[in-house]
C-alpha cells in the first residue's frame, strides 16, 4: 500500500501518495497560515486522484518551521494513523529541502524561524546525512557559522546577504520529495521538532 506524506511545517502545504519512489498523486500549494483549512481537503483530493481509500503508512514533516503548521500536520497524521491502524513516522523540514536541492558535496539549509532568526543545518551526501546539529541563529551569526557555498531554503537569501558571498536557492519543503530521503532520515518519532525553545514558559 502507498505511503501518505504530509508537509505543513512552512508556508507551503503539500501532500503526496508515494509507492516506493513512484508518485501516485501529489499536491503542493503556498498557503501561508491556511494549513488547517486546506490540509484535509488536499488529502482527500490526492487520495481520490490516486484511486485509493487508505494508505499503508504515514510520513509527516515534524519541523522546524511554523509552530501552528507543525501541529496541524502532526495532528492530522496521528489521527489518520489511528483511524487506519498504520504506522506514523516523521522527517525534518531541513532534510527534505537538502534531499531535493543537492548541489555539490555539501549544502546548507536555512529557513525562516521566529523573531527574525534562521533555522540552519549542513548536510553531506552519498548518503544524505546531517553534518551538524540544527540551530536557530540570527542571520549574522548564521552567516558566521555556515561556510557552504550553496544555501537552500526560505532563509537562504538572508544568510547569503549577511555573509556577502555564496549562492542562494530559495525553496520550501514538498511532500513529493520524501521519496529522496534515506530510511534513517524518514523514521523520526512523529513529535514536534521546533528547533528553539517556546516563547511562553509555563508558570511554576
CA dist., res. 99 & res. 155, Å (int):
17
Residue 197, pLDDT above cutoff 70: no
Strands 150-152 and 106-112: parallel
Tens digit of pLDDT for each residue in 112-136? 988 899 999 999 998 999 999 999 9
Domain ranges of the chain: 3-92+173-185, 102-169
Tens digit of pLDDT for each residue in 176-194? 999 999 999 999 999 999 8
CATH number 3.30.420.40 is the correct assignment for the domain at 3-92+173-185: yes
Tens digit of pLDDT for each residue in 149-176? 999 999 999 999 999 999 999 999 999 9
Which pTM does this prediction carry?
0.93
**What CATH number does domain 102-169 carry, 1.10.10.60, 3.30.420.40, 3.40.50.300, 3.40.50.11440?**
3.30.420.40
Residue 71, pLDDT above cutoff 70: yes
Amino acid at each position: 500500500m502507498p505511503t501518505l506524506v504530509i508537509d505543513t511545517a512552512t508556508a507551503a502545504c503539500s501532500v503526496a501518495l508515494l509507492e516506493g519512489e513512484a508518485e501516485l498523486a501529489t499536491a503542493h500549494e503556498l498557503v501561508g497560515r491556511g494549513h488547517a483549512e486546506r490540509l484535509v481537503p488536499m488529502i482527500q483530493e490526492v487520495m481520490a486522484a490516486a484511486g485509493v481509500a487508505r494508505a499503508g503508512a504515514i510520513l509527516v514533516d515534524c519541523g522546524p518551521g511554523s509552530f501552528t503548521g507543525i501541529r496541524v500536520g502532526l495532528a492530522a497524521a496521528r489521527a489518520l494513523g489511528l483511524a487506519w491502524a498504520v504506522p506514523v513516522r516523521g522527517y525534518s523540514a531541513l532534510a527534505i529541502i537538502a534531499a531535493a536541492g543537492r548541489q555539490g558535496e555539501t549544502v546548507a539549509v536555512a529557513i525562516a524561524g521566529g523573531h527574525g532568526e534562521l533555522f540552519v543545518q549542513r548536510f553531506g551526501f552519498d548518503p544524505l546525512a546531517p553534518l551538524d546539529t540544527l540551530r536557530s541563529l540570527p542571520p549574522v551569526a548564521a552567516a558566521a557559522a555556515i561556510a557552504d557555498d550553496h544555501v537552500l531554503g526560505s532563509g537562504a537569501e538572508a544568510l547569503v546577504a549577511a555573509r556577502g558571498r555564496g549562492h542562494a536557492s530559495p525553496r520550501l519543503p514538498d511532500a513529493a520529495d520524501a521519496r529522496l530521503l534515506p530510511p534513517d532520515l524518514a523514521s523520526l518519532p512523529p513529535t514536534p521538532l521546533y528547533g528553539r525553545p517556546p516563547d511562553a514558559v509555563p508558570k511554576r
